[in-house]
Structure 1
Amino acid sequence: MRLSPNQNAIGVIERLAADPVSGVTVREIGDANVYDFGVKVDGTLAGGLALAEICLGGLGRVSLVPCDGQRFVSANSIYVQTDAPLLACLGCQYAGWPVQADDYFAMGSGPARLHRGREAMLQKYDLGDSESKSAVVVLEAESFPTESTIALIAEQCGVQAKQLRVCIAPSTSIAGSAQVVARSIETALHKIDELGFDVRRIVSGTGCAPLPPPAKRGDMIGGIGRTNDAMLYGAEVTLYVNCDDEAVESIYEKIPSCSSSDYGRPFAKIFADYDHDFYKVDPMLFSPAVVTVCNLKSGRTFRAGKFLTDVLRESFLS
């Protein structure tokens, strides 16, 4: 059986659409099916978990698990597991596509990126999906895409609009918060790639991050702040690698967010200091709080990072 992240994601969508309590509705915009996970609907936890699996191209499992509320200021965490970390996380889940047409803007992720193929990350690791003529994109946005946006997405992915599935949720919705917090492994992999480690050496990964309370509807900065804080100060990732110990020793202490000069304050405050420009924030900040690397080749384990309960409390309860 051949691997197609877009077809896998369609399977997740179809199972979800058949669930009468999923909280997901569908409409047609510009001949594409658009699935609403939290724009005009409240959204659900089940929808958020499914949306995260869609982002992963069906190559990971996402679940809601209990956590230490005293330490993480939340009773729930989002747990992620994948045995195809490169393709699932950097090939599909990474929000590396700024989708913009006319006056519409959203951050795009999901397996449709493999069809588009324009990002340096995809080209570096030769990631694609030649087995599917359909495309599934996930948008983080407060409103539905326009018909011109749908046409742009379809054109850049090389598919007809009727072959396009668009899933959408804002970060201030239940589902949107869950799918963003499910990116713990992805943030670790992206950081590791930036540090010069060959991500193809990572065999499997798990990640867990506290699920913050959604910010007020329309408060995009609040939503971005809380979900980023969950990652920076409460997420823990374990990676299983197969390489020489020297390759791990050279980077493992730099992987966690505490290696950044911007570390230590709620992300909303850091973001404000940089005039709400992501590109001005230290890129080394965007990573989990704690990272453990288990080397299958040597049997050694490396661990670095720390949790910051005080910052989580300030962020989640303010």
Structure 2
Amino acid sequence: MTAPRPTHPSQATEAGPHAVPQPAPSVNALARPALARLLDQADALRVQVAPGPSGVCLVDAGIACRGSVEAGLLIAEICLGGLGQVRLRADGHAAWPGWVEVNSAQPVLACLGSQYAGWSLAASKDETGGRRFFSLGSGPARALAAKEPLFAELGYRDRADAGVLVLEVDRLPPPVIVDKLLRDCALPASALTLILTPTTSLAGITQVVARVLEVALHKAHQLGFALADIVSGSATAPLPAPCADGVMAMGRSNDAILYGGRVHLTVSGSDAAARDLAARLPSCNSAAHGRSFAEIFSAADHDFYKIDGALFAPAQVWVSNLDSGNTWQGGGTRLDLLQSLWLGAGQ
């Protein structure tokens, strides 16, 4: 699953209603073509579509089916609210063969207003009639409910008549969670689609690695950089193979970003702010940098909020200022570390 990134309100700058250009597009409406392709090509993409609790549409992208990298790429574009492109680049000359590429002309709305896994969804054993349920919801339907304070900062709320949400889970959501989603999104069951993507699956690990640009946007927000000054963004990160162990799979997906993620942000404003962002954004600013995320997570007693928040960032960043024409670079990749973690013994 995506590692929750702790928020530090004291470090954040109120972005106000001008963080998202007005009139803003509907992320749910723009995501519909990609969602339609996912549903229409379900067999070819190795995903399963079936009715879920209360009659919502459930897309299983790796629980009871194999799923695929191609499905993960499409799910990532859905998560971006139709405001970004996600592709897989095969590079036989690089230190790793497969790289996920992401770019967006509206990265604030695409990444923070849609893709960010910021909607906490939990149900107790009593509410589920069995096991406790927890998931972080991501994707366009977040903007229908707008339950997170972030939406007030963005000055954005979607009003579409249908929505789609991605849950990084390894089991079906219980009816109590589905009913909550329908209430909060103000949608009939026939208008809500839930996509389930366990990180242990091909689609799941792909859509998490495709969050490399979003991780940079979230870190920029935490550092107090003016969101309205972020014009566009592009990013790449290596795509590891998934594994059956959930903690290890989560570790691999996060390591791909922390040690292999490369981000280019185009901004406006002052050179001082752009230079400072390039210096402070990369993951190397954390004292925990240099160890695998699975190791760091275990040392923190499996508590995300005990991990240094500075770690949740891409490895390398370039920041280009449109107003001055200057570019700054900070951080650096550790592909040697990723190879040591991902390659089989004896390689």
TM band (smaller chain): over 0.9
Q: Which runs of no fewer than 5 residues in structure 1 stay unpaired?
A: none
1:297 to partner: Cα distance: 0.5
Determine if contact 2:24/2:156 at 8 Å carries over to the other structure: no
Match among 122, 131, 151 for residue 122 of structure 1: 151
Task: State percent identity of aligned pairs.
Answer: 40
Would the aligned equivalents of 1:67 and 1:75 in 2 still touch at CA under 8 Å?
A: yes
**Following the alignment from structure 1 to structure 2, what is the Cα–Cα distance between the partners of residues 146 and 315?**
35
**Hey, what does 1:105 align to over in structure 2?**
134
Q: What is the alpha-carbon distance in structure 2 between the residues aligned to residue 181 and residue 256 of structure 1?
A: 16
SS at match of 2:45: coil
Question: Could you say which residue in structure 2 is the equivalent of 1:299?
Answer: 325
User: Distance between the aligned counterparts of 2:176 and 2:119, measured in 1?
Assistant: 17
Root mean square deviation of aligned Cα: 1.5
Q: What amino acid does structure 1 have at the position aligned with 2:48?
A: T
Q: Structure 2 CA distance, aligned partners of 1:107 and 1:21?
A: 27
Partner in structure 2 of residue 254 of structure 1: 280
Offset of residue 39 of structure 1: 1.1
Partners of 1:225 and 1:315 within 8 A in 2: no
SS at match of 2:44: coil
Unaligned runs of 5+ in 2: 1-22
Partner of 2:170, secondary structure, is coil
**Structure 1 residues 169-223: Cα deviation after superposition (integer angstroms, max 9, x where no partner):** 101100001100001111111111111101121111100000011012xx21011
Q: Does 1:93 align with 2:109?
A: no
- The DSSP-based 3-state class of the residue aligned with 1:50 is helix
- Secondary structure of the structure 2 residue equivalent to 1:251: helix
Q: 1:178·1:211 contact (CA, 8 Å) conserved in 2?
A: yes
Structure-1 separation of matches of 2:94 and 2:243: 20
Aligned amino acid, residue 204 of structure 2:
G
Contact 2:277-2:319 at 8 Å conserved across structures: no
Post-superposition offset of 1:2: 7.0
Instruction: Name the structure 2 match of 1:233.
Output: 259
* TM-score normalised according to structure 2 size: 0.87
Aligned match of 1:274: 300
1:45-88 deviation digits (Å, cap 9, x = unpaired): 110100000110111000000236653xx310100010010110
Cross-structure match for 2:72: 48
Q: Give the Cα separation in 2 of the matches to 1:310 and 1:2.
A: 42
How many residues are paired up? 313
Cα distance change on mapping 1:249 and 1:170 into 2, 3 Å = same
Q: Which runs of 4+ in 1 moved over 3 A?
A: 67-70
Q: What does 1:1-318 align with in structure 2 at a 5 Å threshold? A: 3-19=25-41, 20-29=43-52, 30-67=54-91, 71=95, 74-101=96-123, 102=127, 103-130=132-159, 132-216=160-244, 219-317=245-343
